[in-house]
Every structure is written in C-alpha cells, then in structure tokens.
Amino acid sequence: MFGKILIANRGEIALRVHRAAHDLGIRTVAVHSTADASAKHVKLADEAICIGPPPARDSYLNIPNIIAAAEISNADAIHPGYGFLSENARFAEIVAEHRIGWIGPEPAHIRMMGDKVEAKRAAARLGLPLVPGSDGPVTSLAEARRVAADIGYPVLVKAAAGGGGRGMKVVPTADDLETALAQARSEAKAAFGDDTVYLEKYLLNPRHIEFQIFGDGRGNAIHLGERDCSLQRRHQKVLEEAPSPVLSEADRQAMGARCATAMAELGYRGAGTIEFLWEDGAFYFIEMNTRLQVEHPVTEMVTGLDLVREQIRVAAGLPLSMRQEEVRMNGHAIECRINAEDPETFAPAPGLVTEFHAPGGMGVRIDSALYSGYRVPPHYDSLVAKLIVWGATREEARMRMRRALEETVISGIRTTIPLHQRLMAEPDFIAGDYSIKWLEAWLREGPSAS
C-alpha cells in the first residue's frame, strides 16, 4: 500500500480523497494555488505545496509544478480527483514516467474514452448499445446530409473533443444542417483545438442514466448499479439519485452486467462511469468517464462501498474488495449540488462565507470544503457543497433531504439551496417523473399547478 498520496485537486473532492487516504492510514500532500492558501484541503493535509497563481492553467493544470511537488514531498502516488487533469492521458503517462503511482485507469483507456468518436467505436466493439448516428467523424456536408436523412431529424452535431456539456448543436431540420455544422466545427476548434465532429440522433425526451463500474486491470470488473442524473441545466447535472426511479431490478442487473462484462474485456482498471440516455426502456451509450464522478456518493450510500478507498486499493495492485454477488444495493440516496450561484439567474456568486452550518443526523452526509470565514474564490467551479442523504425508500430520502436543506446555513453568499428546496416539493420530482428536458422547462415556466 502507498505511504503518501499527493492530491492534484482542490475543494470538496480534495477533501474527499484526503479522508479516504487517512482512513487507510496514508499520509496526504495537498497542492494549491495562491488563491487557495487557506483552503480546507490545505489545512487538513499532512503537507501542502503551492503550485502557482490563481488561474487553473498556471496551478491545478500545471503539470511540471505538480510533478515537482510530488518529487519534493516524496509522494508514492497521485490522485487527480475529477476535472482538471483527471482525464488527461498525457499527465497519467508523465506520472508513470516519474515512477509515481497513478490512481486512475491506463492512459490508453483514458485516451480512448476521451475522444468521443473513439469511445463510441469502443463501446460498439464491446457490445454496448449506441445512439444511432454517424459511423465516426463526418467530414463533408454531403456525408452529414446522408447520415442525418438516414437517422432522421432532429440530429445533434457533437464535438469529438467536447465535454462538460459543451460542444453540441441541435439541428431541427435539413435546412439548418449546413450552418449548424459550420458553427459546431468552428466552436469546437476554438474551445478544444480540434474541429472533429460527428452526428447523433437527438433524443427528444430521454433520461440520463449512468452505471458505476470498477475494474482491477486484470480482467475482473463489477458494476455498482446506476445513478439517475436527468435533472440538468445546460447539460450540467444539478441533482442525482440512486437507484433510478424508472429502472426495474431486472433491467438494472442486465445493463449492469453488460457494462461489467465490457470493462472486464477491456481490462479496465479503477473507477469508471458509463453514461447512457434512456428512452422508452432502451439504453443508448453516450460516453464513458474514466475517473471518479461528482455524484459518486449516491452510489456509496446505497452500496456501502467507499469508492475512493477502492480506487486507491486497485491502484496499489490489490484485488477488488467485492465480487459482483457481494454487491448489495440498499435503500435510496439523493445528492443536491449546492453551487455558489444566484438561485434564479445562476450567475456565479463567490465571496465571503460569514457563517456555515452543516446539517446532520441519521442518513445525512455533506461533502464540502466550506467553513465560516472562508472566502469562495472566483477562479474555479462554483460547486461549494454536496448534500447527500440516504433513506430506506425514495420518499424517506426526499423528506430527509427537505429537512437537511432546511438545516443548512450558508450565509454571506448566494447559493442554489432555494432551488433544491423548491424541487423537493415539486409533484413531478416527488413522482420521479422527469427527463433531461424537465428542469429547464420548469425553470422557464415555473412550478406545475397541482
């Protein structure tokens, strides 16, 4: 087992990794930008090293400085968290070249799944169901017209290098194709430095359902069920739950087994998430994330498994701590992402947190780097807390979330807590009846009258 881990991240996820490491008796090294000198992950870690000025490209994305920090501190391994360098295959290779352990998948698998065209090809090879679309990149308007006519409008133009909900254009009719294609290309070039695009059928009312998988890199893999992440705004997840309110146990086990088999065949190592759209009982692969997800705690709450501990164990060469038959899913979990944003306009609202009080009690978990007197810096993602609850049933979890939101105090800055409070009382949410379109429509039109 590793003796010391460097955590190449910040905020709640840096804390999350620190806690799993300390639970295993492993010491931690925090890295931080100058803007984060008094951040909680810095205070709690055993050692802390400044890696640069506030902009992420100069600090949390600064590979030479992070490697230097690992060497200076004699860290045995690096955990990248999510975001930043977590899906950068080159970084994973550089870490390995410096004989530092990498708490993540093989660089080749990161690279394969990071290119959405390659990922779809791999998924098809591994027997996963795809969204109908082009077979690889589309290079000409004529080809795009052919594919679109074949799958039927509306279609979606997607950037192969896209991510974080960016790099997608809906094309309602054939008349819109030429402009959309050109726009998607130039936007992809500007945002990702790569103008490769492909076409997909645009599903009208799907749910987003993703499976958590774990591989040991030696041909064994398990699945830990699914998460429903359909409540989204601008393709960004707002609230997640496990299990999905619409999936039957038979469908869960069938799709979970297909995912696990695919990952075993790939020889995948570590945590991964296979994302699908789900419509009328059918699954359609959209992408795979080769890292820990923001919403991983809902899976932890229903399986009792510590996913970060598992990542560390597998990276250290230990076997998976559970066989598929031993995975038990129990009860229901919901996670609300609390962002430092205006709950009406979603404008970022960084600033001084004058008072922070975390909720508590049975079945309540808060993953947050906030403390009273902390100043949320303007340079990074606006997620400041994840509130996760467990209940024996979905309704018990919902009531508990309502209560926990009521208890939470974050003063001095605006947060999305009021949005979550309204959601908890919304009949469609109570019924579990929502698709990926639901939240934006609700925000536009206001709560349903019932």
Q: Which positions lie near ligand ADP, rule CB under 6 A?
A: 131, 156, 162-166, 200-203, 206, 208, 232, 235, 275, 277, 286-287, 436
Percent helix, strand and coil across the chain, each to the nearest 5: 35, 30, 35
User: What gap in Å lies between CA 327 and CA 414, rounded to an integer?
Assistant: 39
Q: Which helix (H) or strand (E) holds 169?
A: strand 166-171
Q: In 3-state terms, what secondary structure has residue 18? A: helix
Q: In 3-state terms, what secondary structure has residue 244? A: coil
Question: Closest separation between CB of residue 237 and ligand ADP, Å?
Answer: 8
Q: Which is nearer to ligand ADP, 200 or 300 (CB)?
A: 200
Question: Closest separation between CB of residue 14 and ligand ADP, Å?
Answer: 22
List the catalytic residue out of 111, 227, 291, 414. 291
Q: In 3-state terms, what secondary structure has residue 80? A: coil
CB 287 within 8 A of CB 116: yes
Q: In 3-state terms, what secondary structure has residue 436? A: coil
Question: Closest separation between CB of residue 39 and ligand ADP, Å?
Answer: 26
Question: Closest separation between CB of residue 164 and ligand ADP, Å?
Answer: 5
Q: Which is nearer to ligand ADP, 169 or 365 (CB)?
A: 169
The Cα-based distances of 219 to 248, 324, 348, 395 in angstroms read 28, 14, 44, 39
Question: Closest separation between CB of residue 233 and ligand ADP, Å?
Answer: 10
Our answer to whether residue 145 is catalytic in this structure is no
The Cα-based distances of 364 to 74, 87, 338, 396 in angstroms read 36, 30, 15, 12
User: What gap in Å lies between CA 283 and CA 116, rounded to an integer?
Assistant: 17
Q: Which is nearer to ligand ADP, 356 or 429 (CB)?
A: 429
Q: Which is nearer to ligand ADP, 47 or 115 (CB)?
A: 115
Helix ranges (DSSP H) in 215-319: 249-266, 296-303, 307-315
User: Which residues does 185 contact at the CB level (< 8 Å), separation at least 6?
Assistant: 195, 197
> Rounded to the nearest 10 degrees, what angle do helices 107-114 and 89-97 cross at?
170
Q: Which is nearer to ligand ADP, 202 or 390 (CB)?
A: 202
Question: Closest separation between CB of residue 148 and ligand ADP, Å?
Answer: 13
User: What gap in Å lies between CA 58 and CA 67, rounded to an integer?
Assistant: 13
**DSSP assignment, residue 76?**
S
CB 141 within 8 A of CB 294: no
- Which among 166, 87, 142 is positioned nearest to 119, based on CA atoms? 87
**Tokens describing residue 318:** 């230990």
Q: Which is nearer to ligand ADP, 33 or 196 (CB)?
A: 196
- Which among 198, 190, 186 is positioned nearest to 115, based on CA atoms? 198
Question: Closest separation between CB of residue 133 and ligand ADP, Å?
Answer: 7
Q: In 3-state terms, what secondary structure has residue 205? A: coil
The Cα-based distances of 343 to 142, 347, 415 in angstroms read 44, 8, 6
Q: Which is nearer to ligand ADP, 26 or 271 (CB)?
A: 271
**Tokens describing residue 306:** 């510590």
Q: Which is nearer to ligand ADP, 133 or 359 (CB)?
A: 133
- Which among 233, 219, 388 is positioned nearest to 302, based on CA atoms? 388
Question: Closest separation between CB of residue 275 and ligand ADP, Å?
Answer: 5
Question: What is the number of other CB atoms lying within 10 angstroms of the CB of residue 146?
Answer: 13
Q: Which is nearer to ligand ADP, 235 or 394 (CB)?
A: 235
**Tokens describing residue 57:** 């490209």
Question: Closest separation between CB of residue 218 and ligand ADP, Å?
Answer: 28
Q: Which residues are tagged catalytic? A: 291
